[in-house]
Chain A
Amino acid sequence: MPRKPIEITEKIEYLSILDENANVDTKLEPKLDNDTLKKMYRFMLLGRRTDERMLKMQRTGRLGTFPQASGHEAVSIGSVSAIEKSDWHIPAYRELAGMLYRGWSLEKIILYWNGYEEGAVPPKGVNDLPYCVPVASQLLHAAGVGMAMNIKGDKKVALTYFGDGSSSEGDFHEALNFASVFKAPVIFVCQNNQYAISVPLSKQMNCKTLAQRAVAYGMPGIKVDGNDVLAMYVATKEAVDRAKAGGGPTLIEGLTYRFTPHTTADDPKRYRSEEESKEWFGKEPLTRFAKYLQNKGVMTAKDLEEMEAEVDAEIRAGIERSETLSKSEELMNPLAMFDHLYSTETEHLKEQKEELRQYLEHKKKGKKQQNHTAHPEVSSAK
């Protein structure tokens, strides 16, 4: 019965391939063709510009509160580009770029943040779950999806995301533990932007890295420069290959920074210093990737400019479609809220739906009799 040390041999690596000055480590550089590289950049850009446009919409009353995603593009795109369409993409709420990459339309994104449940319907041809706002809950969905695939014998992976704040939630522990015990093919990607709203990383955990938590669950973990899209790709690709070969889950920590408030209702000036923000703006993910593409001859300055214009036009068209849709009779019909929970309507829902229908009729009549100025809802439904 001696007292002796138990050897824990796992080492946590840090991976960086493309640094902030666009110097590239050619030994580690992934072999991606030009079209893929261009596509990756295009969706990072589309994500960034959409995020910026959405903030302007929110500030002018055209969009509800939403969590901004600027700065998180490399973590999102680097990882999402390493999975197949048939794999599962299970986002949190800062994976705007990745969702657009997966085929979510701009109008759906905008509808979603304007409170239309139609915005949560995933596009056809991919295995995606919608945005998930309750922190860390999506990790359990991912663990479950992964376990189900094992049972069904599906050779796919589930890629899911969470923030540094989520890592302190019980859901995080349960998800990682289950996934590891059952060798579920899940890749847990942490968008470590160093702040859970205003709580800094130093108050979130007392560890060197977030990635080292993988050790406790018995899975590989790696810390990656989260503003380096190439490193994120390489780390995810390794994890995907391992998972598909039956190696179980992986934890990837992408260290990045939120260039914006937490949501539109937040003021980061109250808890982050200007110097710190400035330092991180210098490590921004798009600039270095654009330089890399130019240095490599994949895109010219002119190509980049043209892409900006193209993306801008695409966003404007998407917003217009969304705003037309949001006024359409179909989307403005409150009765539709009963339609999506069950595949067949249950008795009690039928009853409630009928009650609401009668109430709406009654209201419409009342309005006409009183000759009131029509309520916005009624007027736009006509």
Chain B
Amino acid sequence: MSQDFLLPDLGEGIHEAEIIAIKVKVGQSVKEDDILFEVETDKAVVEVPSPFTGTVEAIHVKEGETAKTGCNMITIGSGSGDAKAPAKEEKKAEKVADTKTQILTPVGKASEANGGNGKTAPAPTAAPAQTAANSQSPAHHVNRDIPVPAAPAVRALARELKVDLYDVRPSGPHGRVMKEDVRSYAAGALESRVGSGSGSGSSSAVATSLRPAQPAISLHDKYGGGDDKADKTSGGSSMPSMQSTPSNLPDFSKQGEVERVPLRSIRKKIAQAMMKSWTTIPHVTTFDEADITGLNATLKSAEKSFAEKTGSRLTLTAVVIKAVVSALQKYPQFNSSLDDEKSEIIFKKYYNIGIAVATEKGLIVPVIHNADQKSLTQIAIELQDIANKTRAGKVELEKLQGGTFTITNIGAIGGTNMSPMINHPECAILGMARGADKPIVRNGNIEIGTILPLALSFDHRLADGAEAAYFVRHIINHLEHPLNFILEN
């Protein structure tokens, strides 16, 4: 006899959970209370134990997926016997659904009054529901004699966005309309899927402003239907989106072995952030070189005593941070952000420099706050500290927030130059490639010097090429003539 385990409400009114880890494999025998999944809800990361003892027959969800409550997670058979009595099985599965319904969704009765088929989300065969776009979600509420089940906050939102709840396709249990449903309906994203053309044209501007605050939407929703361009073309999702590409991909497995890994956690966030940067900021990159022969020698000579005194390394990056702050003070547009909606440029009067750090899980950018108020020594110490903490995954959340400008240094690895991508919503990013000994012309003679290639990518809406060239020159002047640091004060 097999039993299905449906995702319960793991907190108070939680309606979905992201599968962080699956702790068992098909064919594995499990005991009651063994941990099956680790899932993350809006409120907490929790371990989900097995309610049955038996053998795992099927796992219906994947790591990285978001499962709704009532979604069939796993089927567990009772040890020796295989699936002999399907009728009984189904009944059992339904019973689980029963208990769930009683305990967790007291408003469930509303769906009955709905005129539709009473059984909706917790059907034992329901496929893992992922987004509002789930094809299994029930039809929207057509009978206007009966109120649409929706929480007061959802009703308020619908009123605010001028959305008629009867037009919205519900994604909640028992046909309940959720906030996301109202938002995506208002944005017109759902319009094309539902195929009904009524009542949302006016509200897309409102919805656009709401969009960024809405974390649970899919990438498709985020990039495909929400921004200005898509609204103008009015054809719904005409923007190239990350989610639509898989269907256009060739079958790679024909060429050899492949492995599919869910896009999640830091990788997913990087993908989203880069997509946003690349699609919303007009990038321009300017390249230059700094002759750091002198600076390099100075740093080398100070290396040992600095390490003995502070326990930290005095690095080129630390000096570049100081030079960047000085350049930002002179050219404040590179420390600004564009408020597209209000058509205003926001000049920040503080200098928080982000440093791109490569970690095992992906790129993370911790921030040195108020770098203008810190000495070179303080910056060198803090730089090493946050880089170490970031690599160990122990950096504090506040250290990852509030950056105004980013520096990325690939010099330790190599590279003759690069074209870095701006860390949205900042204005610019400075890339440092490898500082290497090269033949250079000094006073008509070819000499050997240490050359540091620099690249500045900037938002061309906020700054122009000439300013960018000046900005980089300012940095180079400080690196080539460190006396400038003292002279300018």
In angstroms, Cα B118 to Cα A372, docked, is: 9
CA distance A225 to B307 in the complex (A): 49
CB atoms of A61 and B96 under 8 A apart: yes
* A169 beta carbon closer than 8 Å to chain B: no
A351 to B106, CA, bound (A): 23
For residue B428, CB closer than 8 A to chain A, the reply is no
The segment from B10-18, B185-193, B284-292, B378-386 that touches chain A is: B10-18
Distance in angstroms between the alpha carbons of A242 and B470 in the assembled complex: 84
Contact residue among B9, B43, B45 (Cβ-Cβ distance under 8 Å from A61):
B9
Whether, in the assembled complex, B48 has its beta carbon less than 8 Å from a beta carbon of chain A, the answer is yes
Is B446 at the interface (CB under 8 A from chain A)? no
Write out the residue numbers on chain A whose beta carbons fall within 8 Å of the beta carbon of B10.
Answer: 58-59, 264-265
**A59: chain B residues within 8 A (beta carbon):** 8, 10, 46-49
Chain B residues bordering chain A, tally (CB within 8 A):
34
Q: Name the residue of chain A whose CB is nearest to the CB of B13.
A: A265
Q: Which residue of the partner chain B has the closest CB to A53?
A: B33
Q: Which of B15-48 contact A (CB under 8 A)?
A: 33, 43-48
The smallest C-beta distance from B421 to any residue of chain A, in angstroms, reads 32
Cβ–Cβ contact A263 & B12, under 8 A: yes
A373 sits at the interface (CB 8 A):
yes
Whether the Cβ atoms of A375 and B100 lie closer than 8 Å is no
Interface residues of A in 61-82 (CB under 8 A from B): 61-65
* Cα A380 to Cα B100 with chains together (Å): 14
Closest to A363 in B: B112
Does A61 lie within 8 Å of B119, measured CB to CB? no
Q: Across the interface, do A115 and B106 meet the contact criterion of CB distance under 8 Å?
A: yes
Residues on the B chain within 8 Å of A326, using CB: 99, 102
Q: What are the interface flags for B82-123 relative to A under an 8 Å C-beta threshold, 1 for contact and 0 otherwise?
A: 000000000000101111111110100000100001110000
* Bitwise interface map of A from 2 to 22 toward B, beta carbon under 8 Å scored 1, else 0: 000000000000000000000
- When distances are taken between beta carbons in the complex, the residues of chain B under 8 Å from A377 are 102
Give chain A interface residues in 289-337, CB to chain B under 8 Å.
Answer: 323, 326
CA distance A211 to B204 in the complex (A): 58
Find B43's partner among A266, A372, A380 (CB 8 Å cutoff): A266
Q: Please name the residue on chain B nearest to A65 by beta carbon.
A: B12
B11 CB contact (under 8 Å) in A264, A270, A375, A380: A264
Q: Which residue of A lies closest to B33 (CB)?
A: A56
Taking a contact as CB atoms closer than 8 A, the residue among A64, A261, A266, A267 that contacts B104 in the complex is A64
A376 and B43 in contact, given A59-B10, A65-B11, A65-B12 (Cβ under 8 angstroms): no
- What is the interface size of chain A, counting residues whose CB is below 8 A from a CB of the partner? 29
Q: CB-nearest residue of chain B relative to A376?
A: B98
Q: Mark B218-240, 1 if CB is under 8 A from A, else 0.
A: 00000000000000000000000
Interface centre among A61, A64, A266, A323 (most CB of B within 10 A): A61
Q: Does the CB pair A380–B98 fall under 8 Å?
A: yes
- The smallest C-beta distance from B23 to any residue of chain A, in angstroms, reads 13
**Chain B residues positioned under 8 Å from A264 (CB to CB):** 10-12
A125 CB to nearest chain B CB (Å): 30
Given known contacts A266-B44, A376-B94, A61 and B100 CB-to-CB distance under 8 angstroms: yes
A252 to B45, CA, bound (A): 35
Any A CB within 8 A of the CB of B6: yes
Q: Give Cα distance in the complex from A264 to B118, angstroms.
A: 29
On A, residues with C-beta under 8 Å from B are: 56, 58-65, 114-115, 261, 263-267, 269-270, 323, 326, 363, 372-373, 375-377, 379-380
The 7 closest A-B pairs by CB, nearest first: A61-B8, A265-B11, A267-B44, A60-B51, A376-B98, A265-B12, A375-B118
User: What is the interface of chain B, defined by CB distance below 8 A to chain A?
Assistant: 5-12, 14, 33, 43-51, 94, 96-104, 106, 112, 117-119
Question: Known pairs A60-B48, A62-B99. 10 more at Cβ < 8 A?
Answer: A58-B8, A59-B47, A61-B100, A65-B12, A114-B103, A115-B102, A265-B11, A267-B43, A323-B99, A376-B102
User: What are 30 A-to-B residue pairs whose CB atoms are below 8 Å?
Assistant: A58-B8, A59-B8, A59-B10, A59-B47, A59-B49, A60-B48, A60-B49, A60-B51, A61-B6, A61-B9, A61-B51, A61-B104, A64-B103, A65-B9, A65-B12, A114-B102, A261-B44, A264-B11, A265-B12, A265-B44, A266-B11, A266-B43, A267-B44, A269-B45, A372-B117, A372-B118, A375-B118, A376-B98, A376-B102, A380-B98
